[in-house]
Amino acid sequence: MNAYDKHLSGGADIAIVRYGDGELTVLRPGLFVLCAVSGQKIPLDDLRYWNPVLQEAYAGAPEALERFKQLNP
């Protein structure tokens, strides 16, 4: 583990984000958010999928689809 890995493992690096329709607002700066389905770290620059109603982020389309299926059986 190098210094960069140690830096990423800290809880303080998790951003707090408000998800809107087609936009997001960073409330507390950080390096990443966590996927609500997989728990995967998503760098803010790579964040493309979220649910503004549930205020959840998703690592990708498969995770977003999985959550949709869970909520709409």
Of the candidates 71, 72, 52, 41, the residue with the CA atom closest to the CA atom of residue 60: 41
pTM: 0.80
What are the tens digits of pLDDT across the range 42-69? 999 999 999 999 999 999 999 999 999 9
What are the tens digits of pLDDT across the range 1-39? 344 444 544 556 999 999 999 999 999 999 999 999 999
Supply the range of the domain harboring residue 30: 3-71
Instruction: State how many domains the chain has.
Output: 1
Alpha-carbon span 47 to 25, nearest angstrom: 12
Pair of tokens at residue 67: 């959550």
